[in-house]
Structure formats: C-alpha cells, structure tokens
Structure 1
Amino acid sequence: MSLPPGFLDELRTRLSISDVVGRKVMWDSRKSNAGKGDMWAPCPFHQEKSASFHVDDRKGFYYCFGCHAKGDAISFVRETENVGFMEAVQILAGEAGLTMPERDPRAQEKADARTELADVMELAVQHFRLNLNMAAASEARDYLTRRGLDPEACARWDIGFAPDKGGVLAALTAKGVSQQMVIDAGLAAKSDYGGAPYDRFRDRIIFPIRNARGRPIGLGGRAMAADAKAKYYNSPETLLFDKSRTLYNIQNARTAAGKGQPLIVAEGYMDVIALSEAGFEAAVAPLGTAVTEHHLAMLWRVADEPIIALDGDTAGLRAAMRTIDIALPLLSAGKSLRFAVMPKGLDPDDVLKQQGKGAMQGILDAAIPMVQLLWQRETEGRTFDSPERRAALDKALRQKTALIQDPDLRNHYDQALKELKWDLFRTRKPQARAPGRRGAFNPRGLDAWHRDQSPVATNRNSALATGATRDDHLREAVILATLIATPAAIEPFMAQIEAMECTDDDHAALRGVILRMAPGTDLRAALHDAGLEAAVDALTGQRIVQLSSGLRKPGDLDFASACLSEAFAKLSTARALPQEVREAHEDIDAGDEGLTWRLRQATTARDRAAIIAAGSSGEMIVAENGAELDSDELSAARALWEALTIAKPPEDPK
C-alpha cells in the first residue's frame, strides 16, 4: 500500500518525536532542554550509561553518538516495536488521531500530482518575485517601502507582485505547464460563464505561504486598488493548501522558538513580517480564518504557551474570545495560551513603528493568562449587586470550566476564578443615601448639616445599636462554625458567604480562607496554614455557638444547610434594622405622626431576627436554643427588649 506524501507530512507534523521516543527512554534532565526540543538519554539500542542518544524535536530526527543509530519517529517505532513500515505508520496514526487512508490504486498518481503542484507553485513564486522589479509594480514597491520593507526584506520573504494583466497563467503555460495544472494549484480559475480561465491574483502584492517543511503551498495577495472586493485574498483549498491547518511563517517560527524566542500569533502577513524583522522571529498568523483546533495543536508542538497578539480593536477582542472557546476543551497541564493586547486602535506593526521594539517587548511581557481573559469576558461592563446576578456569573463560569477535560487543570481554573470573584466582591461600595436621609446635604444650611452628622444621644439609639452589633457577630460565628464543621456546605451557600459583611477581622479572615478554598481541600489544614487556629478555637469554643451551629452534627450536610439557611435569613433581616432606626430619627426631627408605627415595624423586624428573645412579660429571657444566658447577655437582652417595646401602634383616627 502506498501513502500520499501529504499523509506522512501531516503525521510527522502532528507528532513530536520526543513524545514517541520518551516512552522508551529516561531523559537526562541535566543535558536536555525541553523548551528547545533538545533531548538527551541513554541509547535504547545498545547498553550504555551515558546520555549519548540525541533527539531533535525541531528537525524530527534522532541520532546516537555511540552506535550511530538514526532516523525519524517511524523508524524508531519500527526498530523498538519490531514492526514493518506500514504497521509503524498505523501505530503512529492512531496516536495522532489520523485515519489511515484506504488502499487506493491511484495513490501513486495522487502523490505525483502533489509533487507536480508543488513544483508549479515554486515556479509561480519565482515569477511573482521577478514581477516586483517591473515598472508596473512601482506602486507596490512604494507601498512596501512605506511599510518599512526594503528590497532585501522583500527578498527574504519572497514577496512578489501580480500585475493586472499578463499574469501567471500565461507565463506558466508558456513554459509548458498545462492549464489544468495551473488551475489545480489555485493560481487560476475557470470562468462561471464558459469563458477562458483567468488569473486569481491580479494587481496584488503576493506573499508566498509555505508549510512546515518550507515548500510553497499557497499564496496570499494584498490588493492595491482601494475599491477591491477583498483587501486580502488567499489561495483556495487545493491538494496542497488547507488554511485551517496552515500557519504563515511556521517553518521560520519553529526554528526561532527552538532558540528560546516567544511564539507569537498575530493576525496577518504584515504583522508577522514586521515582528520578525524587529527581532521577534517566532511569529505566525492564521490565513484568513480564526484560530482552529488544528492551529492550536501545531502551536503547542512548538511552544507550551503561545502568545496571541491582539489588535487593539473590537474585532481583535472578538477573535480572542472565540479562541478561548476553542482552546478550553484542548487545554492540558503545561499547554495553554497567553494574550497580549495592543493599545487601542493599533496592531503589532503599528506599535513597532510608532513606539518601538521596547514597547512591543513590554506588551508581550505583560501578556495575561487565558483564565484572566475568560474572567474579563464574563464580567466586564456588568454589575453583580444581587444574588441572582452572582448566581448567573457562577453558572456561566462553571459551564466554561466544565469544557476542560483535564480534571486537575479544571480544579485550578475553578480556584483561580474563585479568587477573582473574591477580589471582585470583597470591596463593597457604600450605598448612595436617599435625599433627606442622614449624611445628605441639609438644605437648612451647613451648620444644620454638621448637626445632622453628630450622634443622637438618646436612649432610643444606644440599646438598638448595641444589640444589633452583638447579635450580628453571633450569627456570623454560627455561620462560620457550621461551614468549618461541614465544608461540603460551602458551595451551595457561596453567594451568601460572598455577600456577608463581617463585624471583626477574625471573622473576615476566616471567611476569606473559606471563599478561596479549592474544591477537595482540607479546610482545617487551610485555616492552620493561614495562622487562624486561635480564631477557630475562639469561635468554636463559645457555648452558644456550639449549641446553635452545625458543630452539633459535623459532616451532616442537611443539618448544616438548615442551620445556614436560618442564620443567613436572620442576619439579613437584622441588618435591615439600622435603616429603619435612622428613618425613625429623621421622622422625629420632622415631627412625623407615624413615628410610633415606624418604630413598631422596626421592633417587629428585630424580634423576628433576634438570637436572643424575650417572653411577653419580659421576665424570662433565654437563648433560642434554650441555654441560659450569663449576666452580661441577660442585661443586654433586657435593655434591648425595653428599647424595642417603648413604641406603640398609632391610634385609629376614627
């Protein structure tokens, strides 16, 4: 069975020889350089202790300086597995996810056709290069000069020109190339109206596109006419050219990346050329299409973290967001993407010309990991001031991280996003005050406004404020103790935990560790590592907390959920009380006749939420769980009860 050359090329491109060889050898970490694809090991073909067996990922070959064994991935499998050529190809094709081609009596004919097409493409490239020196190309030369490309740079990149008339079809057929071969190479096309074939590339600057082995497989053309239908135009799909599997400048970029340069993915030919000419030689670009999964596989064979260089416009950001969705299911440990965003309105070529190489290096050094761009996409321009909105954010992020196949990597993404949520929600902006409320400017004048800011020293204020603070602190303790006793309850109550404001630093520190804890982490160990053991002991050592929280049944998720639901509900209700009190104070100043009714409403809310409650007579005061109170708690509860019961409902005016 014969195989088309393109199949073996694709097989070699998809597989890293170091991965194939790595199954049989133990790499010498002192001599090997994985970043450059330069690997050393004891030879698997003869007995030795020194690392004389060399594998070069960039070239795709191995060589032993001891026994002189050499070859590629296919020959390595043949020798180590004792199989024939076709069986070795089948083994490697299975690893690369390629389907073996069926037996085709015309396989040799196809192989010959590809070889002929490659020869035709090389002839076309040389023809276009010569055209760039003709008088008809003066405007094209001026354009390239304005873009910073001198004749030497144009020669390095094989840049050419296709005139409006007398193009490559006539030139190649005059050299004996058949008209059909020129069409099959994508250089010409048949007319839809039955006329003579015509050149696809007319009045365009030509950029040859080469595969990973340096053979020309397609062309890119930049229109000179301002009214051209397409500014850039690529070869159509042919036996040689598949744009979803091709990256411009991949051959040179692979060599440069092997020398330690960062692999940069730009948007177009001119960006790649500008970057390379400025010293960033490991630059590539997709060809008229978004980055595909095949592109990502090619990139990750060259570098572990390619940098996607985005144009600083809306289209560039949209392209980046599409890349995230394609990349998430393909991520693995050590294989990811970083994103470098150009200044607004600029592309890499503009940055280099206007700000210089140093500015570009700074942008690349500041490239952000993919998780941050994912976070930005899901949060930018939005507010999360309600549980519903926060829950929607949680759902959206979970849906994205669920695409990651590697469970360990997925956990790390979840943890990173959890920390970003913590950073977003831990700083809460003060709510704007309603006109006429305490803190707003008083139209009676500056002196009156200052008086409004002063504390109101009355018996109506102190007991209420003291009781609310004490109870809030206790409810927080119940919540935190329950979460420590049953960490499985953290995830279902994540939104409420994030929204909870703590009354002291110890509670805030405990809450912070709980929010940032990765799934499956030992919470007690995390609190110990954070130096919060004393805070945990102080929290869980309180008798009322022991009786009122999930400490009574550690690990019981149902019991913990019930405790948390009740505690969060009471905390939310209790914290509505200060606003009611402030409004009551304002109504006193204004002589509001509904004062007593408003205080009654505040009292009712306070009653419902109280952890410490009194009977109607006020004689017996106990905690809700039935525990007796100490003297301080008893005094506070009585003062609170008296303060709350001074209000009476307004009399019926009738």
Structure 2
Amino acid sequence: MSISPAFLDELRARVPISRIIGRKVTWDLRRSNQAKGDWWAPCPFHGEKTASFHVDDQKGFFYCFGCHAKGDAVGFLREAEGLDFIEAVKVLAAEAGMAMPDRDPAEARRADRRATLADAMEAATRHYRLQLGTGQGAAARDYLTGRGLDAKAIERFEIGFAPDSRQGLFTALREKGIPPETIVEAGLAARPDDGGAPFDRFRGRIIFPIRDARGRAIAFGGRAMDPNARAKYLNSPETPLFDKGRSLYHVGPARAAVAKGAPLIVAEGYMDVIALALAGFGGAVAPLGTAITQDQLRLMWRISPEPVIMLDGDSAGQRAALRLIDLALPMTGPGQALRFALLPAGQDPDDLLRARGPAAIQTLLDEARPLVDLLWQRETEGRDFDSPERRAGLDASLRKAIAVIPDEATRNHYTATLKERRHALFGGRRGAGRLTPSPGERRRGVSFGTPPVLAQTRATALGQQDAAESTMEAMVLALCATYPGLAARVESRLELLAPQDPARAALCHDLLAGTESTDGQQALQRIMGDAYVRASPLIRAPVELDRAAAVLVNLLDKIEARRAALSELLRAEAEIQGLVDEGLTWRMGESARARHRAEHPELADSADLDEDRDALSARLAAYAGTKRRPRSGEGQG
C-alpha cells in the first residue's frame, strides 16, 4: 500500500511524537522543557538509568545518545511494538482522527488473507495445547517434567502436543469451519503427491508455538517423541506469515526483557531459550533451526546493540560461531556489535543450569568474548607461522577480513587490536602464539593484553598530535559554551567530536541538549582554566557570532583532518609488507595534503606541505622498520 508523503506530514503535524513515545517511557521532568516540546527519558531500546533519550516535538524526531537509535513516530512504533510500516501509520492515523487512504485492492486482499491464516494458527495453538493434557500426551508431559518444566512453565510458553494421527489437527480445524486450502497455506497440513486428502504436518511431536514481535502465532516447531524419527526437530514451512530467516523464537518477551536491562542472549534451540528464561535470563532468543541470517542479525540489533551469541561448546557450536564472523563483519559498527559465550564441551544451557545454576550462565555472559577474538582465533588456531610467507599470509587474510567493515572508526580499532595480537604472537613474549593465557597463567597473573605505551612512543610526533588535538578540542567546547547558539550551527559535527574524556563527553552532550550536568560543568571549569583557552581573544572579549563560528568551523576541520590522517596512517601501517612502496607514499602524501589544507586554509600548496608529506612517509617507514641500511659501498664517495 502506498502512503503519500503529504499524508505522513499531516500525521506528524497532528500528533506530537512525545504523545506516542510517552506511553513507553517515563520522562525526566527535571531535564525536559515541556513548553518547548523538548523531552528527555531513559532509552526504551537499551537498559540505562540516565536520561539520554531525546525527543523533539518541533522536529518530530527522537535520538538516543547512548545506543544512537533515531527516527520519527512511525519508526518508533515499528521498533518499539514490532509493527510494520502500514500498521504503524494506522496507529498514528487513529490517534490523529484521520481516515487512512484507500488501500490498493491487491494489498487489501493480501492483508485479509494473512489475517485469515493468523486465525487458523491461533486455532491450531489451542488444539495442540488441549492435546497435551489428554492421555495421548502423557509421554510428552513426562518428558517436559523431566526437563524441569512444571505446569506454570508449560502454560507460559504455550507448549502443546501433536498426537501421531494422520489427520487429527486437519479434522479438528475443518470442524471449526476453516477451509482445507487455508489449513494447507498456513503450513499446518500438506497435500500428498498423489493428490489425496491433506495430512497433518506435525505428528507425534511436542509443539512450540513461534510468535512474531507483535505476539501473533506465525509458525510451530515440533520435537519428535520417537528417538528414531528422521528429524528430531521440525519447523513450519515458509508461508505468507512465516519467513524463517527473518524470525526469532521468543522475540517478543525478549524485547520486553532487554528494555528492562536484561542481556539479549542468542541460544540454539527452543529448550535452551526456555531454560534460560525460567532461570531469569528473559532476553533469550533462538534462530529457527538454521544458521543465523543477516535479517536475524538486524532484528537482534534493533533489540540490543550487543547481543551475546551463546553456542554449544561442541565442535558444531564452534564452527557455527566462526561462520558467523564473515556474516557479521560487513554489518558491524557502533551500536551493532556481537559477543560470544561458548559453553563447556558437551553441554547446552539447560545442562549447565542444572549442574551449576544461574551463576554459571552469568559468569559466561561476563566473560563473553568480542568478535575480534574469534576472528583472531579462526586465523591463527592450529597454524604455524615460522616463515615470512606464512606471516604474510596471516596479514593478508586479516586485512581481507576487516576490509569489509563499513564504519571507518570500527575498522581502525580492529586494525589496532589485531596489530597488538600480532605483536604478541611474533614478538617473542611469553605465551606468544596463543590467544589467551592458560588457567595456570591466569592464576599467576600472566596477561596477553595490550602492551603499555612506551615513553619513546609518547615522545613521537604521533603522540604529540594527540596533545594538539586535545587542545583544539578544548577550544571547540569553550567556544560553544561562550557563544549561545553556536553549538546548534555545528550540531552534527559536534556529535561526531566524541571526546575520549568522559567529562568532556558529558559537556559535549550538555551543549547539544541545553543541559548542565555535574561532570560537564567540571570539565568546563578545567577547560576555561587552560592557559591556551584563557589567552584566546575570542574567549577574553567575545565578538560577533559569525566570526566565532568561522573559527569554530576551522578548528573542527583541523580535528577531522588530523583524525583522517591518523586513520590513514594506521591502515597503511597494517598493510605494509617489506619496503614502503610508491602507492603507500602517494596515499600518505594525499593524507598530508588534506591535513595541510585544513590547518592552513589560506595556502593552496607550499614547500611546507612537501615537508609534511616527507615527514609522514619517513614516520611510516620508521614504524614498519623498513628503512634500509646502506650496503657496503653504497652512499660512499
């Protein structure tokens, strides 16, 4: 169904976005300015106690400074309530008292058909639940009891049973007036090849209803009671309601639990999720019998910025984790990360909970490893790097793996982290070649973490660059604090400034939000006490806003150019094999040229630029250790 932009604009104008979001959050009235339509609250999309979720009625948008979720009222309804686009528009239209535009007839027929199928799925859910309580369901009840599920748990997860009858469900639904074609289209029955009467798809199985984020029953999973069954688990086929690659088991309750602060845990199967949820880990979900897909990853990240992938500790579980690396890397970035918790070999979450209780699961979550750990493990485990060629092969494979990361900052951090791992592997330190210390080494305090920064490193131009950037950063914040309205002119660039110092970050947030936090005010006092800032004429004697804005823009240009130059240097350093070639020298020259233009906008090109470029190339060669010593006879005479 097509919705015109004019209709959507009218909806947004009639319904303040705060009215929609206010049903899901508790506003922080001390920070909010109700008269201006400026609202603050803890974010509903990730667990937090501070109010970093901003809603602006005038612009009609929301933005979270913590998880970076953003959008309009339609987007909020889609994320918070699992609605599709048309359903979200309907909610807003009802709120505004506006009639929806006429639907496309074909789309109307499809929507009506999906509603009919959903009704059939609900009828099937009730039928299966009733069958679990009959005599035919006695063995299934015994099995569930043996797995630690009491009547309350069975009710909570709506578990049912399909007797080993060829047409039990089909007949029951026909008696309720549901047509055969609807039963087949919903995936509840299948037609035989010979064209005979449809037969039940699930027979002799414990049934787990699969619901979407809105709570609609869209499919079933069935566990065979017969140990000799061809498939231990069987899922519904793809239907107009059910897309296996876009769905997760237990997604609705998990979303609600994560919003209250629970971690999002991705387990392997239905019973794993149920065991975790009953043990207090309500944010558990599971893919539906297949490897995790891109669409499932996107769905997970809409719920939590850092899901924990909890896989069985056997070889199959580890292989699944390693396969996920290549799927996730092209999508990873700020707010879209993964961590991995590998269970002990031969155990699933239910086994571990029975043996050691919820504390063991919590320990696994606390020790979950980031994606970069598994990437390094995959590329190094069980391999020898006793020759230059093998080491070069490792470097090439790592470069290829992280080259697909779209976010430049994330890619640079991967480069730096892998460089540290490479140094630990080839640098001759104790434990070189292994990803983590052994248990005995951990007890003795041996660590393979990041090596300390050396004094000679701090003395290099690269170290001095950090101090210069810090001073410029302080001047940016001082200008924005001195000149009201200046921060609003560079709002998007100020958001990207992202100071590393937490107090400065708080000040940056205050300047954007118009608030005054304790940390931010302390940072401002320190900045204003800085000799460089105090000496600035723009601070001592404020001038017109446009002049201050020009200086501010120039400072931001310089900071961004420096960061880009450092990023290029780190990337080029990671790519070096042997001597610095002309391609790298050219790239470093271009980086120096861009930085020079930002720092000296009044000049086009000069000898200073050539010196800067030469200095960068020399620094790159020094980092790589590739400077050649003169052979005998070279450079003499």
Shift of residue 335, structure 1, vs aligned partner: 1.4
Shift of residue 43, structure 1, vs aligned partner: 3.1
User: How far apart in 2 are the matches of 1:481 and 1:58?
Assistant: 48
CA 1:415–1:566 in structure 2 vs 1: closer, same or farther (change >3 Å)?
A: closer
CA 1:481–1:349 in structure 2 vs 1: closer, same or farther (change >3 Å)?
A: closer
User: How far apart in 2 are the matches of 1:115 and 1:42?
Assistant: 36
| Residue number in structure 1 paired with 2:111 | 111
User: How far apart in 1 are the matches of 2:144 and 2:119?
Assistant: 27
CA contact under 8 A between 2:245 and 2:293: conserved in structure 1? yes
CA deviation digits over 1:329-371, x for unaligned, max 9? Answer: 1112121111001011111111111111101100011001111
CA 1:328–1:481 in structure 2 vs 1: closer, same or farther (change >3 Å)?
A: closer
| Residue number in structure 2 paired with 1:590 | none
CA deviation digits over 1:491-523, x for unaligned, max 9? Answer: 5656799xxxxxxxxxxxxxxxxxxxxx989xx
Counting only pairs closer than 5 Å after superposition, residues 110-129 of structure 1 correspond to structure 2 as: 110-129=110-129
CA 1:265–1:520 in structure 2 vs 1: closer, same or farther (change >3 Å)?
A: farther
User: How far apart in 2 are the matches of 1:169 and 1:150?
Assistant: 29
CA 1:27–1:378 in structure 2 vs 1: closer, same or farther (change >3 Å)?
A: farther
**SS state at 1:286 partner:** coil
CA deviation digits over 1:228-266, x for unaligned, max 9? Answer: 110000000111111111100000000000000000000
Counting only pairs closer than 5 Å after superposition, residues 184-203 of structure 1 correspond to structure 2 as: 184-203=185-204
User: How far apart in 2 are the matches of 1:251 and 1:32?
Assistant: 18
- Which of 48, 52, 57 is 1:43 aligned to? 57
TM-score (norm 2): 0.59
CA 1:362–1:520 in structure 2 vs 1: closer, same or farther (change >3 Å)?
A: farther
CA contact under 8 A between 2:38 and 2:55: conserved in structure 1? yes
| Residue number in structure 2 paired with 1:389 | 390
1:427 aligns with 2:428: yes
Counting only pairs closer than 5 Å after superposition, residues 406-417 of structure 1 correspond to structure 2 as: 406-417=407-418
| Residue number in structure 2 paired with 1:284 | 285
User: How far apart in 2 are the matches of 1:176 and 1:297?
Assistant: 39
CA 1:129–1:181 in structure 2 vs 1: closer, same or farther (change >3 Å)?
A: same
**SS state at 2:286 partner:** strand
CA 1:495–1:149 in structure 2 vs 1: closer, same or farther (change >3 Å)?
A: farther
| Residue number in structure 2 paired with 1:158 | 158
Shift of residue 323, structure 1, vs aligned partner: 1.5
CA contact under 8 A between 1:188 and 1:198: conserved in structure 2? yes
User: How far apart in 2 are the matches of 1:185 and 1:286?
Assistant: 20
> For structure 2, which runs of at least 5 residues remain unmatched after alignment?
9-16, 22-35, 61-71, 81-85, 433-455, 464-565, 581-589, 593-610
CA contact under 8 A between 1:167 and 1:199: conserved in structure 2? yes
CA 1:385–1:304 in structure 2 vs 1: closer, same or farther (change >3 Å)?
A: same
| Residue number in structure 1 paired with 2:501 | none
| Residue number in structure 1 paired with 2:142 | 142
> For structure 1, which runs of at least 5 residues remain unmatched after alignment?
9-16, 47-53, 63-70, 88-102, 432-476, 498-518, 522-549, 571-608, 614-623, 628-654
User: How far apart in 2 are the matches of 1:151 and 1:169?
Assistant: 27
User: How far apart in 2 are the matches of 1:110 and 1:325?
Assistant: 36
Shift of residue 109, structure 1, vs aligned partner: 2.1
| Residue number in structure 2 paired with 1:221 | 222
Shift of residue 193, structure 1, vs aligned partner: 2.2
CA 1:118–1:86 in structure 2 vs 1: closer, same or farther (change >3 Å)?
A: same
Q: How many corresponding residue pairs? A: 432
Shift of residue 105, structure 1, vs aligned partner: 3.3
Shift of residue 74, structure 1, vs aligned partner: 3.7
Structure 2: which amino acid aligns with 1:111? A
User: How far apart in 2 are the matches of 1:492 and 1:374?
Assistant: 18
CA 1:56–1:196 in structure 2 vs 1: closer, same or farther (change >3 Å)?
A: closer
Shift of residue 174, structure 1, vs aligned partner: 1.6
**SS state at 1:316 partner:** helix
Shift of residue 55, structure 1, vs aligned partner: 7.9
TM-score (norm 1): 0.58
CA contact under 8 A between 2:162 and 2:206: conserved in structure 1? yes
Shift of residue 26, structure 1, vs aligned partner: 9.2
User: How far apart in 2 are the matches of 1:78 and 1:131?
Assistant: 42
User: How far apart in 2 are the matches of 1:35 and 1:57?
Assistant: 16
**SS state at 2:105 partner:** coil
User: How far apart in 2 are the matches of 1:327 and 1:416?
Assistant: 18
- Identity percentage of aligned residues: 47
CA deviation digits over 1:524-559, x for unaligned, max 9? Answer: xxxxxxxxxxxxxxxxxxxxxxxxxx99x7555699
User: How far apart in 1 are the matches of 2:197 and 2:41?
Assistant: 64
Counting only pairs closer than 5 Å after superposition, residues 405-554 of structure 1 correspond to structure 2 as: 405-427=406-428, 490-491=573-574, 493=576, 554=615
CA 1:34–1:186 in structure 2 vs 1: closer, same or farther (change >3 Å)?
A: closer
**SS state at 2:46 partner:** helix
User: How far apart in 2 are the matches of 1:565 and 1:77?
Assistant: 64
| Residue number in structure 2 paired with 1:208 | 209
CA 1:169–1:77 in structure 2 vs 1: closer, same or farther (change >3 Å)?
A: closer
User: How far apart in 2 are the matches of 1:287 and 1:567?
Assistant: 58
Shift of residue 56, structure 1, vs aligned partner: 12
CA deviation digits over 1:594-650, x for unaligned, max 9? Answer: xxxxxxxxxxxxxxx7x7x9xxxxxxxxxx7559xxxxxxxxxxxxxxxxxxxxxxx
CA contact under 8 A between 1:351 and 1:359: conserved in structure 2? yes
CA contact under 8 A between 2:46 and 2:261: conserved in structure 1? yes
**SS state at 2:112 partner:** helix
| Residue number in structure 2 paired with 1:168 | 169
Structure 2: which amino acid aligns with 1:271? D
Structure 2: which amino acid aligns with 1:307? V
Q: Which has the larger radius of gyration?
A: 1
Shift of residue 392, structure 1, vs aligned partner: 0.5
Shift of residue 106, structure 1, vs aligned partner: 2.9
| Residue number in structure 1 paired with 2:373 | 372
User: How far apart in 2 are the matches of 1:36 and 1:483?
Assistant: 37
CA 1:559–1:328 in structure 2 vs 1: closer, same or farther (change >3 Å)?
A: closer
Shift of residue 178, structure 1, vs aligned partner: 1.2
Shift of residue 481, structure 1, vs aligned partner: 11
- The CA RMSD over aligned residues, in Å, is 4.5
